[in-house]
Structures are given as C-alpha cells and as structure tokens.
Structure 1
C-alpha cells in the first residue's frame, strides 16, 4: 500500500476545482519550506495574483476574487507563522536543555583595586 500524501503541514494544489480523495495533486509544498506569501498583481499584471516563496523557488497563483486571494494569503501566512513558532519553541527547548558552562570565578573584594580620587 502506498503512503498517502495527505498529511498536515503540506499545501496541495490541483488542476481541477472538484477535488476528491482520489484526486492527484499537481504539486505539494511543505509549509516548513515556505518563507513568504504576498500579493503579486504588480509582478504578473493579473488581478487576484499572489506569490508563495520557498528557498528553491517562487510560485504564482491566481484566485477568482480579491476576497479569495486575501483568504489564501492569510491562511498560508498563519501556517507559516505557526510552523516557525513550533520550530522556534523546539529550538528554545534544545538550547535550554544544553549543559551550562560552570560559572567563572569572581575576584574577591580585597583583590579589586580601589578607585583613585
């Protein structure tokens, strides 16, 4: 049995608007690889265009209306932020669990030089 591509943290896109469990995606983008999502009407000179950038490429999509474009941008943007927070939280836990170096000895008060007047 083949592994299903349907897992959280992935963005799928299809040629057809009528998507079923048997539909084959044209592409799959892991949210973890997404850097930015923003409007791109000026880049493509097309209404309702938006772009999704990863380290490897920038992909362009066209929504059917301004509201739909904004919904896509907001939804993908929230997913990017949620993923980056979970990565950051994991990194903080990793940093906190590292052994800390022993404290450095501090000079005794008698060894410290007195300020001159």
Structure 2
C-alpha cells in the first residue's frame, strides 16, 4: 500500500496536516500483535513533548510521532537511532544486542488481579 501525503485521502488543512494524517494511516495499517512491526528511522533526537498516544503528535518529527502513535496503539516498534532514545512511560526501549543503534519497544508488564478468590 502506498501512503502519499498528496493523495486526496489525506488532503485538507495544509501540507503539514496531510503529512500527519498520512503517518497516522500508515501506523494504523500495521497489524496489531506479533504479526505486525513498524520500523522507524528518525533523522535526529526525539522532540520534547512527544509521548506515546492514541493520536498523532510529532512536534515536528513525523518519524518520532509515528513511533509514539504505534506505541500508544500497542503496535510493535523497531527503531534505529544512533543518537539515543527517549524515556517514555509504559515501557522502555531495549537495545537490540547485536546491532548498535537499533532498539525495540518493550511495554511494561502491569500486574493484573485475575480473581478475588
């Protein structure tokens, strides 16, 4: 599938808004669970204020915004960032041991009470 920001599907509200809608559609197209994986290669550090969310908020970085949206939607994410990764709530970026600069998002495991008895 091709995600073009110039597509009428994403038009309206200006070019930046089109880019954000295109990025969000791309992230949402990634299958949830173990069968889907979003690979992200941002060109720089994560802007302050970008955090996992169920809506797109890139603060000027489409790549970091896409990674944050994917994490917020519970998608698996593999990220290449030689300049490091941000600390986000709900999990952590774990280095891929054999590949410097590569990180995988690992959500925190929360304890759930399954029964009262």
Give the TM-score range, shorter chain. under 0.3
Structure 2-normalised TM-score? 0.23
Bigger helix share: 1
> So what's the TM-score if we normalise by structure 1?
0.23
